[in-house]
Amino acid sequence: MRIGLASDHRGFNLKHSLINYLEEKNHKVIDFGTFSKDPCDYPDYTYLAASAVRNKECDRAVIICYTGIGSCIAANKVRGVRAALVYSLKSAVFTRRHNNSNVLVLPSHLFKADYAKRIVSRWLKEEFEGGRHLRRIKKIRDIEDKESI
């Protein structure tokens, strides 16, 4: 699987832990930045990773910032992206099963690397259930269509 990763300066260390972990699991990882701990603005890197999912350059993306809130908002502005801010293993499962999320957003201040790896691994393994959830995903797409007019 091709997985994009992006972070701001406060997610930099966690991002690098996840890059190493995902590469060990034989995923192709594309790092969209930031590339240092220097203060930066999360929307710049969030947009690059989310756009790569939209353009099918990546199958999915993981984005990390301090709270995850701003990055989730920014990622969801990109057409076709269903970004989910995840705070637990259970929420990682359900955002894939029910929402078919293609971008995972993690708050760097809540997780140690080991727990974040468990969340990412579980999120990558889960499948979309379809059924009644597909109807809801189509309604989200309809909203995007209305907003693009």
Domains of the chain: 2-147 (3.40.1400.10)
pLDDT of residue 149: 64
pTM: 0.96
Share of the chain above pLDDT 90, in %: 95
pLDDT of residue 148: 74
Q: How does pLDDT run across 50-96, given as a tens digit for each residue?
A: 999 999 999 999 999 999 999 999 999 999 999 999 999 999 999 99
The percent helix, strand, coil of the chain (3-state, each to 5) is: 50, 15, 35
Active site residues: 65, 98
Q: Which residues contact 23 (CB under 8 A, 6 or more apart)?
A: 29
Torsion of CA 29, 32, 35, 37, to 10 degrees: -110
Read off the pLDDT of each residue in 26-31 and give the average, rounded to a whole number.
Answer: 98
Helix (H, G, I), strand (E, B) or coil at 49: helix
d(CA 6, CA 57): 14
